[in-house]
Amino acid sequence: MTEPAEPGAWRDLIAGPAAPRAALIVLGIWLNAADALVTATIMPSVVRDVGGAAYYGWAIAVYLTGSILAGATAGRLSQRTGLRPAMIGAALAYAVGCTLSASAPTVGMFLLGRALQGVGSGWVVAYSYVAIGVALPERLWPRMFSAGAAVWGVASILGPFIGGVFAQLGQWRGAFWMFAGQGLAFAAAVPVFLPRAAPEADDRPLPWRTIVVLTAAIALIAAADVLPDATLDMGLLAAGVCGLGLAARVNAAPGERLLPPDAARILTVAGAGYAMIFTMEIATQVFNVYEAAILQSVYRVSPLVAGYTVAVMALGWTAAAFLAGSQPEARHGAFIRVGAATIVLGCLLMTLAIGREPLGWIVSAGAIVGVGFGLSWALTASRILKALPDDERAIGSAAVPTTSLIGGAVGAAMAGAAANVLGLAHAFTPAHAQASAPWLFGAFLPLAGLGCLAALRLTSEPDA
């Protein structure tokens, strides 16, 4: 039996030889994490300027759809072209998308820019996770995944602030110009900091059948998130989820490997890890979609207070991620199990408290959920990579954020459908919101429980 590997020190990422590569990875994750939050903040200003109030939800939906599809193809593309050219192309695509959004005279061009931004940022963040597995030593993986999780926490704080500043100044286009500049800076830094690697010999055609089925499934889920009819929402969501299952079956066919084969095999270690990420994202997406609206309606707080109350979850995630990233490998399994149980506890507390208890209970529930993610998410991603064969690590790395994005899309659509069933879409009055909120959050508790079961399977094998 091998001795447990000692984790790398934080100084190795901050000041050691790996520091430039770690900084590049952090910037790539930042572009994806902050973009959606900034855009959500400035969208009222965008609608006032270019119109298209009926397409409000599509600004997020097309971006998310593009991000998911790009992330799903990133592993294969990085193998075929080499990681450096792939990252440069992704950053340039993102910068072009930002430029289209920033200069859009109509809502149509704005949505086209958002779609290209989604594709570019989806590639950038997926390639950044690929870079963790291929450009950093294995002993630094838990630290780097923890640092990546911290980026999402920082983005949840700075994103609304940056968007609010640009909106307050009446310069919403400036936010997209700023991100375009960051995309170009990322493209310029890749050949400087990322080591050159030859493309892998791969004469197999791209798995177009899997891509087509996955595209259709994600489009159905995205449509369910923005259409107002509850019955149609449920039908589209069910069709989209079935489409994801069909995509997994097609992916298993010879020559169609877009995701690791174990991604759809929940009894394997990697499959359990992906299942945990997927179900926990679904279970907690209702926090991001409806918590702020309920707080403003029921608790009469300002939008800023509501936004930062939701952001407490990200702060808990960030703080716990640094703790988890410093643990030796022998403790990883225990931290994953405790983290999953903590997420379930936070979801239960929110269900019992929302609309009934003082605001402090709501803050506590969000913080507990965030701590649960921080304790488990980075270690889960690291364990998935270690469970995959070497020739599947590029695909497997890219599949981690893609699985999270798909879970988020399914969760947002399910939250919207559940709110429609409860009548919140038509009567978001304080009294109705207060009565419906516990049912809305409670509907997702079983999914959190499934995520906890997946965590037990993920950690059922002894730590190295």
**414-459 residue pLDDT tens:** 887 787 778 776 666 788 888 888 999 999 999 999 999 999 999 9
Q: What is the pLDDT of residues 334-362, one digit of tens each?
A: 999 999 999 999 999 999 999 888 989 99
* Ordered DSSP codes for 344-405: HHHHHHHHHHTTTS-HHHHHHHHHHHHHHHHHHHHHHHHHHHHHS-GGGHHHHHHHHHHHHH
Alpha-carbon dihedral of residues 413, 414, 419, 425, nearest 10 degrees?
A: 20
Residue from 314, 373, 370, 313 nearest 339 by CA = 373
* pLDDT number for residue 196: 72
Q: What is the pLDDT of residues 297-322, one digit of tens each?
A: 888 887 667 767 777 888 888 888 88
The CA distance from 74 to 89, in Å, is 12
The CA distance from 361 to 169, in Å, is 35
The CA distance from 291 to 261, in Å, is 36
Q: What is the pLDDT of residues 13-60, one digit of tens each?
A: 777 778 888 899 999 999 988 887 788 778 778 878 887 666 666 777
Per-residue confidence band for 370, with pLDDT thresholds at 50, 70 and 90: very high
Domain 1-197 has CATH 1.20.1250.20: yes
* pLDDT number for residue 51: 78
Q: What is the pLDDT of residues 189-229, one digit of tens each?
A: 999 888 776 555 555 666 778 878 888 887 787 777 666 66
* pLDDT number for residue 201: 53
The CA distance from 356 to 459, in Å, is 36
The CA distance from 147 to 128, in Å, is 12
Phi, psi angles (nearest 5°) of residue 41: -75, -35
**The pair of three-digit structure tokens given for residue 42, joined into one six-digit string:** 């400035």
**The pair of three-digit structure tokens given for residue 354, joined into one six-digit string:** 């929302």
pLDDT greater than 80 at residue 174:
yes
* pLDDT number for residue 57: 63
Strand, coil or helix: what is 257? coil
The CA distance from 369 to 347, in Å, is 7
43 or 369, greater pLDDT: 369
**The pair of three-digit structure tokens given for residue 81, joined into one six-digit string:** 């072209």
Q: Which CATH superfamily is domain 265-464 in?
A: MFS general substrate transporter like domains (1.20.1250.20)
Provide the residue ranges of all domains of the chain, joining segments of one domain with +: 1-197, 265-464
The CA distance from 78 to 125, in Å, is 12
One fold for both 1-197 and 265-464? yes
Per-residue confidence band for 464, with pLDDT thresholds at 50, 70 and 90: very low
* pLDDT number for residue 199: 56
Write down the pTM of the prediction.
0.77
* pLDDT number for residue 97: 95
Q: What is the pLDDT of residues 76-94, one digit of tens each?
A: 788 778 888 999 999 999 9
Listed in sequence order, the residues at least 6 apart from 381 whose beta carbon sits closer than 8 Å to its beta carbon are 129, 145, 273, 277, 400
* pLDDT number for residue 230: 67
Per-residue confidence band for 4, with pLDDT thresholds at 50, 70 and 90: very low
First-to-last alpha carbon distance for the chain, in angstroms, is: 8
* pLDDT number for residue 419: 79
Q: Tell me the average pLDDT across 369-382.
A: 91
The CA distance from 296 to 307, in Å, is 10
**The pair of three-digit structure tokens given for residue 1, joined into one six-digit string:** 């039996």
Average pLDDT of the chain? 83
State the sign of the Cα–Cα–Cα–Cα dihedral 106, 109, 112, 117. negative
> What secondary structure, in 3-state letters, does 159-172 show?
HHHHHHHHHHCCCH
